[in-house]
A and B are shown apart, each in its own frame.
Chain A
């Protein structure tokens, strides 16, 4: 793991290492680790990292928050840290203070919509909402006749149908039926649902990249331990080449995700160049999750397919994260349309602008 010179990441990694060791978590069938972990993260101010001091958060930079998400991916953290960070960020865009406790954002899918009714209430049915069941509040992007608004909603007022994603984390259906928000304000001009989805997509990209870093790490280590046909499997050229490909996928995911995070963190406007970065990260990281995860399992053989082994904590979660905030095929269509609309001669200038 790269040594971090980032105090936010250092703090988080220490908490993860102490309270979220993947092997301990994997053995704990009752999820007793969740409450202490969440408490420690909250005490360190990490879930509200992206919320300014005056709105109840710890005011970390976007860059530090993104680095934190990458670290969370390396530990395959299964508490709503990314979701609460995103919710806090969304609320802060409209200067709405964040409450304490777990949050998540609505919608979590580009095709879903929450409507702001003329009477000021919110309605809509949205699917695939990560950790909705665990959330005390929702940060909502809603659309009314006057454009987009951002609202804080009490989760107790919504109907939540629990579901599980491929990685066994909650991914729920949330229905708002004329729910009165706690607070609602107009969204700033630059913020629309596309931007919100890309922000979520970049968060997921960093988590996927982190999970792939860990998959590479444990796969290399395993190949240096496991003996077959009287030698370590790391000495077989076919295994070496597979691991080299996994390193490539992991590196590509990390490069795409950190580049997109850097683009958003230093952006002055949400233009086509930032769109290219964010959409590309989600597309490429999702592809890497598929290809890289398959290799990690191949290297581990049957043992990595068992529920006792920690590999699935990374591999299945990375696969599940592909679906949140727009899948890779969704963003590929959107990016392809953008490229086509700009025209052939503008493609290279767009790519070379970064």
Chain B
């Protein structure tokens, strides 16, 4: 056979269920103390530094990393459980999540030892926020088109150019970015990009907010003008960032955050229809739950592959493709079903407010972290079509 796609039915071990209970209890406590309100989706304040620090205190950031860098040497499956409980609760994870998912693993792999010793423990304590500098104006998913230049100078590089769609750059302490250090060659158009650790809040960087159609400000434009990066902040191979960046993207692809972003509307729909739904509502809910369950089983399966040291690039892309299309459609399907909810449903206003927000959120879900089209290209390559 051409394609051997396997999604073994990995089960979460008992210690994951223990951890899940701890995370749920912690989140309930945080809600009780008013740290965040999951039923207020239009919130401006998704960045809550003290929440990050308390998550760090619990040992839930850098959970799989080596202890000598402040990590906890626990499994990917444990990390999985923490992520999904945070996501389902709509917890304000923005400050630490990118570092936990992507930036930390990149530093572990490519940063010099003194930088790892300095930065990784602070990430684990929930003190640092990271941004990812990949997209540029007119490039997006097309990393080859990146133009922002890193020019050789004494002891380092000078950066000039603009990154865009950079989530959290306005609150970030660091950014991991790719810049052009030389031109692509005829033989290898992927040549010439280098990955750097960028310290934010320094002269030579300007961060300009970009409003989103949800009413939130999460994206930014980041302009570099003769910004200096020292040599020891180069991550990995000069001119060889292409492979590094694509493996970084693999971390972004298959996690529970890739199908749970609009999940809250499903819970609220179930609340609104009550214990004894009509047939139409029951069928709609049943289908959505079956789809959710299936995706989650696929996603857990990929987490199991990561735990086993595999690189499930195609499988992760399939999960992200199906997962993001699903979370994009979910608010619309819930809207269909909500048309039949009784006027007297106690949570009717909450449901409507959440739907309003989820419908506005939906368009971005199939774009962030690699568009559907790019993912399908990766899957097609895995099938032997390219």
Contacts and interface: CB of A to CB of B under 8 A. Distances in A.
Interface of A: 1-2, 213, 216-217, 220-221, 223-224, 234-235, 237, 239-241, 243-245, 247-248, 250-252, 254-256, 258-259, 261-263, 276-277, 279-281, 283-284, 287, 328-329, 331-337, 339-341, 343-345, 347-348, 351-352, 354
Contact of A336 (B3, B9, B281, B318): B281
Contacts of A2: 1, 4, 6
A228 to B, nearest CB: 15
Interface in B269-321: 270-271, 273-277, 279, 281-287, 289-298, 300-301, 314-315, 318, 321
28 contacts: A220-B384, A240-B380, A241-B377, A244-B379, A244-B380, A244-B383, A245-B321, A247-B314, A252-B298, A254-B7, A255-B7, A255-B294, A255-B301, A258-B7, A280-B294, A283-B290, A284-B291, A284-B294, A331-B286, A332-B287, A335-B289, A336-B282, A336-B284, A344-B271, A347-B289, A348-B88, A354-B12, A354-B296
Nearest to A232: B385
B184 to A, nearest CB: 22
A337 B277 contact: yes
B87 to A, nearest CB: 10
Nearest to B7: A255
Contacts of B282: 332-334, 336-337, 340
**Of B1, B7, B8, B290, most A-chain CB atoms within 10 Å:** B290
A250 B268 CA distance: 31
B33 interface: no
A351 B294 contact: no
B379 A276 contact: no
B20 A339 contact: no
A277 B384 CA distance: 32
A241 B281 CA distance: 32
A259 B276 CA distance: 29
Interface of B: 1-9, 11-12, 20, 84-85, 88, 263, 266-268, 270-271, 273-277, 279, 281-287, 289-298, 300-301, 314-315, 318, 321-322, 373, 375-377, 379-380, 382-386
Nearest to A254: B7
Contacts of A252: 294-295, 298, 322
Contacts of A251: 5, 7, 298, 315, 318
A351 to B, nearest CB: 6
Contacts of B297: 255-256, 259, 354
Contacts of B289: 276, 280, 335-336, 339, 347, 351
